[in-house]
Amino acid sequence: MHAELLALLAGLERAKQIRIVKLIIHMDNESCIQLVKEEHLVSNSLKSVVKRCKDLIKERGNSFKLEHTYRELNRAAGWLANRGVNSGIIPILLEYPPMDLHTILREDIFGLAIPRAIAN
């Protein structure tokens, strides 16, 4: 959860830096979204990150939104996260998507459905 909140914070700070005025952020971690959207008790290790995320979103009023999306609809983000974890390198800003990600992005653009198993 800490890594996802740090990624959210980095994205919000970058959006502010390059003056993005309207942004919808899709995350597949509902717990992170709840921490940022609601007034939950936050552990000390996450408190400052959550507060900074909240502050950056509040600065933009209604023009920045944080929404949940299922992991199957957030495949590009998952691919990038796995690449980061497996590479062991420091975070970098990519100007263009890596070639290996093009197929996933194309499938997202065309709305390729990915089945989701739901247990009763």
Q: Where do the structural domains in the chain lie, given as residue ranges?
A: 2-69, 72-109
Banded pLDDT at 116 (limits 50, 70, 90): low
Asked if residue 97 has pLDDT above 70, the reply is yes
User: What integer best gives the mean pLDDT of the chain?
Assistant: 82
Choose among 24, 49, 45, 20: nearest CA to 36.
49
Banded pLDDT at 9 (limits 50, 70, 90): very high
Residues in Cβ contact with 43 at an 8 Å cutoff, skipping those fewer than 6 apart: none
- What would the mean pLDDT of 18-33 be, rounded to a whole number? 89
pLDDT of residue 118: 66
Cut 0.75: pTM above it: no
